[in-house]
Structure 1
Amino acid sequence: MEKILKIFEKYLVLFLLLLMMLTVAATAIELTTVLYTQLMKPPYLALDVAEAIEVFGFFLMVLIGLELLESIKIYIEKHRVHAEVVFLVAIIAVSRKVIILDYSKTAPETLWGISSIILALSIGYFLVRRSQHESIGN
């Protein structure tokens, strides 16, 4: 039974990797389309703030996808989830939210919550990195 579960897990992870690759490729194509469309509107080769924020949001979405691909790749190779990559994905995702957030319509409590999440993720990332460097040094 355990052998069947291992085989199932292997193919499921490979399927997820394929889906993530397709998603990242589709997002990159969408980014290219959005950027081209925005740059070809008059005034040509100029972006207003809203358009730039939309483009940056797509860039960060592609980066999130690439980091998730890295996480799946590490899982396939080492059969474990790499905590550092998980923290990086979360930090990039929260950063994306901060960049595209409309501050005029956001409650102060939400901003405090987001800042708390950023602080917690930063501390967590620092501690994971420090523990990895200490274990390598010993």
Structure 2
Amino acid sequence: MKRPLGITILGVLFILGGVSALYKMAQQLSHGRVNINAAVLMIPVGIGLLRGRWSSRFWAKVWVGFFVALASAALLAYPFFSESFHVSFGREELHGPMRHMAAVALPLLLIIPGVFAWKYLRSHKIDAFFGDVSRHAAPKQKEEDRSSAS
């Protein structure tokens, strides 16, 4: 089966995210600081998605779920702890209404595509690509058992 375009896009995004984390780690190392960033593990996940590996699909769902949960927590915490949030654009810290808009908009920019990515990774089309038909075979088997029992 041909790889779906959405899997290609997600795979490339995962690789780019991992490469970005790797770059930041190398940048810190060049300044004499050690910075370990688990996001470098997104590189093998992205490569696995492009190769059609089921385990990479699982880990992609874990990463997407983690980012959605983290962004949701930030969004829910903001009304209660807004004074302790520091929102910057570039090197400038935002203040006033722009700070509030950015503090709400940025998590939403992660949550909305994350929910769509999660649903896409769980779709029937993607099940077929990764060869995961077991999730949908169980209900059919139960129906066959009921009809043979009658």
Give the TM-score normalised by structure 2: 0.35
Instruction: Compare CA radii of gyration and give the structure with the larger one.
Output: 2
Give the TM-score normalised by the residue count of structure 1: 0.37
If each structure's helix is expressed as a fraction of its own residues, which one has the higher value?
1
